[in-house]
Chains A and B, each alone.
Chain A
Amino acid sequence: MRKVKELIIQKSLFLSALITIAITVGIILVLSIEAVRFFSEVSIVDFFTDTQWTPLFTDKHYGILALLSGTLLTSFIAISVALPIGLSISIYLSEYAPKSFRKTIKPLLELLAAVPTVVYGFFALVVVTPFLQQFIPNLSGFNSLSAGIVMGIMIIPFVSSLSEDALYAVPRSLREASYGMGATKLQTAFKVIIPAASSGIIVSIILAISRAIGETMIVAIAAGQQPRFTLDPTVPVETITAYIVQVSLGDVQHGSIEYRTIFAAGITLFVFTFLLNTLSYRIRKKFQEKYE
């Protein structure tokens, strides 16, 4: 009797774990089915080469480049903010800071990632853009610059936390050897510790990029909703995610081509983040083997 009960429990636990596989399969199926229907009406060559994205207008163009450029531009700005700051934090906390300071500041930094993104969107639109307009007079009210900067602040803990773990895990003996040769902490950090922890740092950067690409509310609120193939950070742009939000807020008929555009945009986004996540997972697995 007991054995039967144990078996039933084990099977139901197993089913719960299988749900995670079902989610992935579900995502891939849903995105592919709608995207295939989309590409039966729109040529895939146009999708990747046209530089205009105007599915909601009478003169329809389906060039994902216009959305992709907005996505990559905001993500690039965000990473330019988060990478130097996040890495400096991780080096400082792991090599310089007193233990007690490190212990108190880490949960506080995590708080940056806990703030809902809609709140960051408000900051970007209401605080950061007017502030930047004092220095850049031709900065539009919606722009990728302030959205990117604020997004960068949000993903600082993604970079700092994982990198710091990697730096901290480097064996003590490597540090001692470097100090023994007369190196300063700075020289040790940059010439010994960072190279030793490089795979962990790369993983943190990749995950931060993936997070920035998928971020939605900050860009939907502060970057504007005008698809534009540009690298100019002062004008309104639209990201893939912001476009999906824009269509979802409107009144779009199920089964129409407009409805399918959000799945075509979605699958593009999914492929990008999937590749980045898989890459980071591979690197992480290799890294673990090295130390264990």
Chain B
Amino acid sequence: MNNVQKNRLKDQIFKFWGIFCTLIGLVLLVVFIGNILIDGISRIDWDFIMDLPSRKAEKSGIYTALMGSIWVLLLTALIAFPVGVAAGIYLEEYAKKNRLAGLLEINISNLAGVPSIIYGLLGLEVFVRMMKLGPSVLAGSLTLSLLILPIIIVATREAIKAVPSSIKDASYALGASKWQTIWHQILPASSGGILTGVILALSRAIGETAPLIVVGALAYVPFAPQNPMDEFSILPIQIFNWISRPQAGFIENAAAAIIILLLITFVMNGIAVYFRNKWQKKLK
């Protein structure tokens, strides 16, 4: 075999190695999820979703944890959405290229890389202790809002950047002010991209476990939260709690709860991808 043939062979081998690597992660994910489905699918019924937690595995349900997760998700969206989009608009449309803008930019990029558990420590001291909110739904939601703020800001900026400048110029030419241009032209044109970013950020929030454990969310609460000051649990913490128990029944419960959690995560991701595709077509 001469050199040319050897190089071509190496090229071919790498190509198959590349395909193998691309698929291996996904194949493992499918194997994992298949395993979970086998373990947990038979446990899921209406009672499992509506039952309160219990010491007996077969009587336990996810009602309180699921309601806690929904409460946290809604409050987090309510807090993080306006603040994140506002900050994104400021940075993209108003900020001048000065030192402050540079600092804001480095800072946001850094915040996106801070481990989620550190946000938990921040929430514990500031919201739970200093603001005396206690280990409440509100304290947890505020903590998660800070966590997903950088993601929403970055997504908002990208979406605004993608709006053609001709739209902006036309609006100014008709005598619109800066805010009128943003509110009536830029935001509607970028809404699909912003929405995608927000949904992805929220799907990250619903799977977050560590920061809420640190803030003091409980593994066991007898009732679903009724208002933002109530104590709460969330689905991932309930799963974590069940995994840590030795009895086999709880592993089955954990698998069943994971199926519900994955379902929520994947549906949210699916919706986000749908909006992104629709929006990208519209932009073109």
Contact = CB atoms under 8 A, between A and B. Distances in A.
Given A105-B22, A248-B216, A112 B111 contact: no
A13 B87 contact: yes
B150 interface: yes
Interface stretch (A42-50, A56-64, A167-175, A272-280): A272-280
Interface string B181-212: 00000000000000000001001101111100
Contacts of A97: 18, 22
B86 A156 contact: no
Interface of B: 7-8, 10-11, 14-15, 17-19, 21-22, 24-26, 28-29, 31-32, 35-36, 39, 82-84, 86-87, 89-91, 94-95, 103-104, 106-111, 113-122, 124-126, 129, 146, 149-150, 153, 177-179, 200, 203-204, 206-210, 213-214, 216, 219, 236, 239-240, 243-244, 251, 254-255, 258, 261-262, 265-266, 269, 273
A126 B240 contact: no
Contacts of A281: 106, 109-110
A147 to B, nearest CB: 13
Interface-centre pick from A13, A92, A112, A207 (highest chain B CB count, 10 A): A13
Interface in A12-27: 12-14, 16-17, 19-21, 23-24, 26-27
B8 A184 contact: yes
Interface string A96-139: 11000000010111011011111101110111000000000000
A268 B200 CA distance: 30
Contacts, number: 247
Interface stretch (A194-202, A211-219, A228-236): A211-219
Contacts of B19: 92
Contacts of A111: 26, 29, 266, 269
The size bracket of the interface on A is: 35 or more
Given A249-B219, A269-B118, 4 more contacts: A20-B107, A30-B125, A92-B22, A210-B113
A221 interface: yes
A153 interface: yes
Contact of A116 (B94, B104, B115, B209): B209
Interface string A27-57: 1001100100000000000000000000000
Interface of A: 2, 5-6, 9-10, 12-14, 16-17, 19-21, 23-24, 26-27, 30-31, 34, 84-85, 88-89, 91-93, 96-97, 105, 107-109, 111-112, 114-119, 121-123, 125-127, 153, 156-157, 184-187, 207, 210-211, 213-217, 220-221, 241, 244-245, 248-249, 254, 262-263, 266, 269-270, 273-274, 276-278, 280-281
B236 A118 contact: yes
Contact of A20 (B31, B120, B153): B153
A217 B210 contact: yes
Nearest to A278: B110
Contact of A270 (B32, B103, B118): B118
